[in-house]
Amino acid sequence: MEEKYNTFGEPISPQDSLKQPDTLFQKIFSILSILLLTFILLYPAIKWNQLPDRIISHWGFNGQADGWSGKSSVLFTPVISLILYIPITIIIRCPSVWNMPGKITERNKRWAYRNIKNMLVILKFLIMTNFAYLTWSSIQQKNLGAFYMILDLILIFGSMAFFIRRSTRCPAPESEEGIPRDREPF
């Protein structure tokens, strides 16, 4: 069999052959992430002329504003959002760079890769949701709320724990598509 090469002239690894079309679940959360990123980029531009000279730039653990900066600081959140969004999107498309928990076998590899892809799609969505809320709160001069930080940490680390724990469990026998019959990862 002839060896295939990527655009950099490197051999394509077996993991790259695991690229699967996005599931409906993945498509929905990817679209939601794009919409949130669009909001993060456009909302400051739309509200720019209405912003006061000083806006909230930091909140304490209790969700109360404890730092203010010039209105140009509102541009920080869109920049950081792009810096996070682009690499996460690239990583989702390159399964060969994923560090997979648990033992990957021929029997479970398609399921395991789909499960980790789901985790990455959800994490990207949660990060964009977080930055969209921070952008809105900063522009609207609102406090985040007492439970914001705790809820944010629980959602991000809880979803990671869920998917990583799930990936270390041995899946049931596979269907013809290579997906365990009783544990379809969305």
Which pLDDT tens digit goes with each residue over 40-79?
999 999 999 998 899 888 888 888 888 889 988 889 999 9
* Over residues 135-143, mean pLDDT: 90
CA–CA separation, 124 and 128 (whole Å)? 6
Whether pLDDT at 25 is above 80: yes
88: Cβ contacts below 8 Å, ≥ 6 apart:
120, 123, 124, 127
Condensed to tens digits (0 to 9), the pLDDT of residues 154-174 reads 999 999 999 888 877 756 555
3-class secondary structure, 7: coil
Mean pLDDT computed over 6-35:
75
Task: Note the pLDDT of residue 9.
Answer: 56
pLDDT higher for 40 or 101?
40
C-alpha to C-alpha distance for 146 and 143, rounded to whole angstroms: 9
- Count other Cβ atoms within 10 Å, centred on residue 162: 14
Q: Best-predicted range by mean pLDDT among 50-59, 122-131, 138-147, 175-184?
A: 122-131
**pLDDT of 153 over the 90 cut:** yes
Domain boundaries, the chain: 22-47+58-167
Query: pTM, whole model, 2 decimals?
Result: 0.80
Percent of the chain with pLDDT over 70: 80
Percent share of the chain, pLDDT over 90: 42
Residue 17, pLDDT score: 53
Q: H helices of the chain, where?
A: 24-47, 76-92, 109-140, 148-167
Tell me the β-bridge partners of 174.
Answer: 180
